[in-house]
C-alpha cells in the first residue's frame, strides 16, 4: 500500500501516485468535473475527479469524453473522513498550494452527519459545545501549534540554563493563595483543595537546593467571573530561581523567556499568523519598560482616567491606559509595573529594605492585560512570621510552609504566568475561550 503523505509535504513531492487522508471540507459537484477540498492536520489540498480526457478511439470520434462523475463524491458530506489515492500534479494555477490530485480511488473511512452544528455559526458558546468540530478550523489548528512552539522555546531556554522541570501536586491540604478562590473536594474521610498555584512547592524546591525550576501545569481558581480573561481552570507557566539580588533578576529572566517564545513563534508560524489572523507578529526589544505602580497610576490619571481606589491594584481600564502610554512613548507591547504596595501583595513577597510599605514585586502587562505576577520572596523565617501576622493570618496554619525556612533557604524569586492569556493577546483574540483547548468557567464543565 502506498504510504500516506501529509498534505503540507505534497508541494515538495514528485508528481505521481500519492495517498492522502483527512476530512472533507468542501465539495463542488459540476456537470463534468467534481472538486473536493480535503484537509488533514497539516493543511488542505484540492482533489479532482474528471477533467481528464480518455484516449480517443479512432472508430468513435466521441470517445474523448470527460471521465464521468461518481455518486461517491456527490454523496460526501462535510466532515467525512476519507482516504484517497491518485495522481499528484503540480499546477501553479491551483490556488490551494499549487498542487492537486486526480482521484483514482476513494475509501470512505467514516461518514459525517450532513448537518454540521457549527457550520457558519460564530456564537462562541455553540462552538464550545461542539469544540471538536470547531477545532478543525485552520485558525484553531494553528493556535495549538503556536502553543507547542512557544512552550518548547521556553523549555529549551530553561533546560539550557540548567533549570529542573517539576510537577507539583494539584490536591492540597490548605490554600496556596486566597481561601476565597478555593475549590474544595472530598478526600476520603476529609477535605482537600485544588491548587490555585504551585507557589509553596516552587519555594520548597529552593529549600531543597534545586536552584532554578519550572513547571507548566493546571491551576484552579473558584472565581465566579465571566470576563474574557478569566477561567476556573487554566494552564500556569511557573518558574523560580535561587540566589537573586532583587526582583530585577526575575524580570530579566522573564524578558528572556518572552523574547525566546515569540521569536520561535514568529520564525516558525509568522506567515501563517499573518494569513489566518492578519497579524504581523512582532518580537519585543529588551529591556521592557519598567514603571512603578504609583507612577503608572499618575500617568493614567493624566490621561483622563483615575483608578477608583488608591490602595488597589491597577484595574483593567488602567492596564489598557498604561499600555496605550507605553505604546505611544516606547512603541512596546510589554510593560513591567513594579513596587506594589504591601497591602495588595501576599505575605511571602519581600518588602523594600528602605520602605516596608512596598514590595519587591511586579505585574507584566501585555497589550493592555496583565499576564503575570512576579516577585522576590521573603526567605528569612522571622520576617515571614511577622508578615503573616500583619496579614491577619496565624503562622501555625502555615507550619508546613514555614518549615522550609527553618533549615536554610537561599534568596529566591519567580513568577507565574497564564499561558492562555499570552496566546489570546499574541493572536489578538477577544477571549481566552478561543485559545483554550477545553475551556472551564463557572457555567461550563462540558465537553
Do 76 and 27 form a contact (C-beta atoms < 8 A)? yes
> What pLDDT sits at residue 71?
75
Band (pLDDT 50/70/90 cuts) for residue 65 is very low
DSSP state of 222: -
Q: Is 420 annotated as a binding residue?
A: yes
Question: How distant, in Å, are the alpha carbons of 9, 26, 28, 69 from that of 76?
Answer: 25, 9, 10, 13
Nearest C-alpha neighbor of 161 from the set 285, 284, 288, 257: 257
> What pLDDT sits at residue 301?
96
Nearest C-alpha neighbor of 37 from the set 80, 68, 93: 80
The 290-292 sheet, strands edge to edge: 164-165, 213-220, 233-242, 412-418, 369-376, 361-366, 334-338, 290-292
- Please state, in angstroms and rounded to a whole number, the distance separating the CA atoms of residues 176 and 32: 67
226-242 tens-digit pLDDT? 999 999 999 999 999 99
Q: Is 419 annotated as a binding residue?
A: yes
- Please state, in angstroms and rounded to a whole number, the distance separating the CA atoms of residues 211 and 243: 8
| Higher-pLDDT residue of 324, 310 | 324
- Please state, in angstroms and rounded to a whole number, the distance separating the CA atoms of residues 415 and 362: 9
47-56, 273-282, 310-319, 361-370: segment of lowest average pLDDT: 47-56
Nearest C-alpha neighbor of 28 from the set 118, 96, 97, 92: 96
Domains of the chain: 7-110 (2.40.50.140), 131-435 (3.30.930.10)
Q: Is 55 annotated as a binding residue?
A: no
Q: Is 141 annotated as a binding residue?
A: no
- Please state, in angstroms and rounded to a whole number, the distance separating the CA atoms of residues 237 and 337: 19
Q: What is the mean pLDDT of residues 312-336?
A: 96
Do 228 and 177 form a contact (C-beta atoms < 8 A)? no
263-296 tens-digit pLDDT? 999 999 999 999 999 999 999 999 999 999 999 9
pLDDT more than 70, % of the chain:
94
The alpha helices in 246-360, defined as continuous H runs, are: 247-277, 293-302, 316-330
What pTM was computed for the model? 0.93
Band (pLDDT 50/70/90 cuts) for residue 57 is low
Mean residue pLDDT across the chain: 93
Q: Which three cell numbers stand for residue 60?
A: 468513435
Backbone angles phi and psi of 356, in degrees to 5: -65, -5
- Please state, in angstroms and rounded to a whole number, the distance separating the CA atoms of residues 35 and 211: 59
Q: What is the mean pLDDT of residues 244-251?
A: 98
> What pLDDT sits at residue 49?
93
DSSP state of 341: B
- Please state, in angstroms and rounded to a whole number, the distance separating the CA atoms of residues 157 and 355: 35
379-402 tens-digit pLDDT? 999 999 999 999 999 999 899 999
Residues 92-118 as b/e (b if ≥16 CB within 10 A, e otherwise) read eeeeebebbbbbeebeeeeeeeeeeeb
- Please state, in angstroms and rounded to a whole number, the distance separating the CA atoms of residues 199 and 282: 31
> What pLDDT sits at residue 323?
98
Asked if the model's pLDDT at residue 253 lies above 70, the reply is yes
Strands 290-292 and 233-242: unpaired
- Please state, in angstroms and rounded to a whole number, the distance separating the CA atoms of residues 418 and 37: 37
Do 330 and 351 form a contact (C-beta atoms < 8 A)? no
pLDDT more than 90, % of the chain:
87
Q: What is the mean pLDDT of residues 129-151?
A: 97
Backbone angles phi and psi of 348, in degrees to 5: -90, 0
Asked if the model's pLDDT at residue 256 lies above 90, the reply is yes
Q: What is the mean pLDDT of residues 290-309?
A: 95
Q: Is 49 annotated as a binding residue?
A: no
Band (pLDDT 50/70/90 cuts) for residue 309 is confident
Q: What is the mean pLDDT of residues 97-109?
A: 95
Amino acid at each position: 500500500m502506498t504510504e500516506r503523505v501529509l498534505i503540507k509535504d505534497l508541494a515538495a513531492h514528485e508528481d505521481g501516485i500519492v495517498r492522502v487522508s483527512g476530512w472533507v471540507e468542501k465539495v463542488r459537484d459540476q456537470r463534468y468535473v467534481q472538486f473536493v477540498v480535503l484537509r488533514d492536520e497539516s493543511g488542505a489540498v484540492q482533489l479532482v475527479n474528471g477533467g481528464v480526457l480518455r484516449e480517443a478511439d479512432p472508430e468513435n470520434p466521441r470517445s474523448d469524453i470527460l471521465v464521468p462523475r461518481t455518486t461517491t463524491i456527490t454523496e460526501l458530506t462535510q466532515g467525512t473522513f476519507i482516504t484517497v489515492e491518485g495522481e499528484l500534479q503540480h499546477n501553479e494555477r491551483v490556488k490551494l498550494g499549487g498542487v492537486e490530485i486526480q482521484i483514482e480511488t476513494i475509501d470512505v473511512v467514516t461518514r459525517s452527519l450532513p448537518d454540521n452544528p457549527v457550520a457558519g455559526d460564530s456564537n462562541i458558546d455553540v462552538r464550545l459545545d461542539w469544540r471538536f468540530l470547531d477545532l478543525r478550523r485552520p485558525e484553531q489548528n494553528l493556535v495549538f501549534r503556536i502553543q507547542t512552539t512557544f512552550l518548547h522555546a521556553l523549555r529549551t531556554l530553561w533546560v539550557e540554563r540548567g533549570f529542573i522541570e517539576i510537577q507539583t501536586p494539584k490536591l492540597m491540604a490548605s490554600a496556596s493563595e486566597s481561601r476565597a478562590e478555593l475549590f474544595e473536594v472530598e478526600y476520603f474521610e476529609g477535605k482537600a483543595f485544588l491548587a490555585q498555584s504551585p507557589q509553596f512547592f516552587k519555594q520548597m524546591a529552593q529549600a531543597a537546593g534545586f536552584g532554578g525550576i519550572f513547571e507548566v501545569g493546571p491551576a484552579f481558581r473558584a472565581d465566579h467571573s465571566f470576563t474574557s480573561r478569566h477561567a476556573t481552570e487554566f494552564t500556569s507557566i511557573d518558574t523560580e530561581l535561587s540566589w537573586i539580588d532583587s526582583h530585577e533578576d526575575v524580570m530579566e529572566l522573564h524578558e528572556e523567556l518572552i523574547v525566546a517564545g515569540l521569536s520561535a513563534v514568529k520564525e516558525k508560524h509568522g506567515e501563517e499568523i499573518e494569513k489566518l489572523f492578519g497579524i504581523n507578529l512582532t518580537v519585543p526589544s529588551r529591556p521592557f519598560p519598567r514603571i512603578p505602580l504609583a507612577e503608572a497610576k499618575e500617568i493614567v490619571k493624566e490621561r483622563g482616567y483615575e483608578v477608583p481606589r488608591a490602595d488597589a491594584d491597577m484595574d483593567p481600564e488602567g492596564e489598557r491606559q498604561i499600555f496605550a502610554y507605553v505604546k505611544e512613548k516606547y512603541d512596546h507591547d510589554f510593560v513591567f509595573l513594579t513596587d506594589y504596595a504591601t497591602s495588595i501583595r501576599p505575605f511571602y513577597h519581600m518588602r523594600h529594605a528602605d520602605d516596608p510599605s512596598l514590595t519587591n514585586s511586579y505585574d507584566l502587562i501585555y497589550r493592555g492585560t496583565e499576564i503575570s505576577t512576579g516577585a522576590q520572596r521573603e526567605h528569612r523565617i522571622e520576617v515571614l512570621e511577622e508578615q503573616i501576622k500583619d496579614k491577619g493570618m496565624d503562622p501555625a496554619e502555615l507550619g508546613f510552609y514555614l518549615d522550609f525556612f527553618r533549615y536554610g533557604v537561599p534568596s529566591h524569586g519567580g513568577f507565574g504566568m497564564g499561558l492562555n492569556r499570552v496566546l489570546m493577546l499574541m493572536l489578538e483574540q477577544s477571549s481566552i475561550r478561543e485559545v483554550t483547548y477545553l475551556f472551564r468557567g463557572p457555567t461550563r464543565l462540558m465537553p
